[in-house]
Amino acid sequence: MDTIPMSDTSHRTATVGSVLTRPPAEPDVAERTPLPDPAERDIVFELAGVEVRYSGVTAIEDVNLKVAAREITAFIGPSGCGKTTVLRTLNRLHDITAGAQVRGTITYHGEDLYGPRVDVAEVRRRIGMVFQKPNPFPKSIHDNVAYGPRINGRKRGEIGDLVEEALRKAALFDEVKDKLKQSALGLSGGQQQRLCIARALAVEPDVILMDEPCSALDPIATARIEDLMQELKANYTLVIVTHNMQQAARASDRTAFFTAEIDDAGRRVGRLIEFDDTEQLFTQPSDSRTEGYITGRFG
Ligand SMILES: Nc1ncnc2c1ncn2[C@@H]1O[C@H](COP(=O)(O)OP(=O)(O)OP(=O)(O)O)[C@@H](O)[C@H]1O
Ligand SMILES: [Mg+2]
């Protein structure tokens, strides 16, 4: 399965690039570099020497990893080790976090994700996010899914079909087809989470990031989302954060284990300890810290 040199560590020596905050000025739409076609390359994200600081305090540093296309990559590790922080670098959500600073290099299909000419709205359309707590808008089921396509200027006549298609892809259509005009807030937690996935799918993304998407759900709803992830990976690249090691082991192709350690200067900083094929990481971890975590000795 693995033809991609994920263990390549040559990039670890890459020098840290410029401070990657919001570009100083939004260039004209016509000048923006179009993002490359998702089908062009097999590596979707490559992180080299990535560091995130909050108000000058380093939360994670020296993160180097590659996310391959149409796979499920899982981030695991103890609370506070920086899983969410790394995930949020992948669609520039830190741009809207006061005091957050991203350093290092993150490429998306080979292009600098933080380049000054990159259109952030396009980044968020291509790279969708599903959060821990289902967060449907206080609108109808239909309007939740139609929201993105409408903003993106899709024609009125197209919206109904787009909504149905996204709900079908999110394995929700049959359960809601007779109540599309009802409030999304009346759905169960698991249905709301699938609605949020449908909302992300409706804008035709390339990647879906999920931050503990099942942690508020019961085992049956969790199993449905896990099944759905397996279906989605035929066409999308998924990066999931999970506290549930069984979920990472069952659902993902590759796993990144993070932990936070106190460094020589007494700072508590999150680091990527091991990144490997999921089966390998769970059966023969190469680092004793990974082994300690997956066997429950710490974390
Ligand atoms: N907005 C923020 N401002 C300041 N510090 C933050 C912010 N978000 C996260 N941090 C800090 O960054 C570190 C990593 O946090 P992060 O939320 O990424 O961890 P996590 O691995 O996702 O944890 P959990 O499993 O509890 O969700 C923590 O020390 C946290 O306190
Ligand atoms: Mg988190």
pTM assigned to the model: 0.86
* Mutational test site, ligand 1, from 50, 84, 90, 97, max ligand atoms within 8 Å of CB: 84
Within a domain: 66? yes
Q: For residue 192, how far is the Cα from the chain centroid?
A: 18
Whole-angstrom Cα distance, residue 299 to residue 292? 8
Q: Select from 230, 237, 199, 209 the least CA-distant residue to 39.
A: 237
Spans of the chain, pLDDT less than 50:
1-29, 299
| pLDDT at residue 18, rounded to an integer | 30
Other C-beta atoms closer than 10 Å to the C-beta of 10 total 9
Which residue, 247, 244, 253, is CA-closest to 224? 247
Q: Which strands, in side-by-side order, build the sheet including 100-108?
A: 111-112, 100-108, 43-54, 57-68, 268-277, 254-262, 72-76, 237-241, 207-211, 127-130
Residue whose CA is at the smallest distance from ligand 1 atom 22: 84
Q: Provide the domain limits for residue 238.
A: 10-294
Residue 28: its pLDDT value, please? 47
Beta bridge partners of 47: 65, 106
Among the atoms of ligand 1, which is closest to the Cα of residue 77?
21
Grouping H, G, I as helix, E, B as strand and the rest as coil, residue 24 is: coil
Residue 209 lies in a domain: yes
Task: Examine residue 3 and state whether it is found in any structural domain, yes or no.
Answer: no
Q: Given this model, what pLDDT does residue 39 score? A: 53
- Note the pLDDT tens digit of each residue in 252-275: 999 999 999 998 888 899 999 999
Q: Considering Cα of 206, then 211, then 212, then 216, what sign does the dihedral take? A: negative
**What confidence tens digit (pLDDT) does each residue in 191-200 have?**
999 999 999 9
- Asked whether residue 229 is assigned to any structural domain, the reply reads yes
Q: Is residue 78 one of the residues assigned to a domain?
A: yes
pLDDT at 5: 44
Question: What pLDDT does residue 263 have?
Answer: 84
Question: Among 206, 204, 250, which residue's Cα sits nearest to residue 225?
Answer: 250
Look at residue 65 in the predicted model and tell me its pLDDT. 95
- Closest ligand 1 atom, residue 86 Cα: 18
- Report which ligand 1 atom has the smallest distance to the Cα of 82: 18
- The protein residue with its alpha carbon nearest to ligand 1, atom 24, reads 79
> Of all protein residues, whose CA lies closest to atom 4 belonging to ligand 1?
54
Helix (H) or strand (E) holding 145: helix 141-151
User: What letter would DSSP give residue 180?
Assistant: T
Q: What is the pLDDT of residue 35?
A: 57
Ligand 1: residues whose CB is within 6 Å?
Answer: 54, 59, 77, 79-85, 97, 270
The rounded Å distance from CA 57 to ligand 2 centre is 17
- 24 within domain boundaries: yes
CATH number for the domain including 244? 3.40.50.300
1 occurs within a structural domain: no
Please give the single-letter amino acid code of residue 297: R
Number of domains in the chain: 1
Residue 5 lies in a domain: no
The protein residues having their C-beta less than 5 angstroms from ligand 2 (an ion) are 84
Cβ distance 101 to 53 under 8 Å? yes
The preferred substitution site among 50, 52, 54 for testing ligand 1, maximizing ligand atoms within 8 Å of CB, is: 54
Supply the pLDDT for residue 89: 98
204: left (phi over 0), alpha (psi -120 to 50) or beta: left
Per-residue confidence (pLDDT) for residue 216, from 0 to 100 = 87
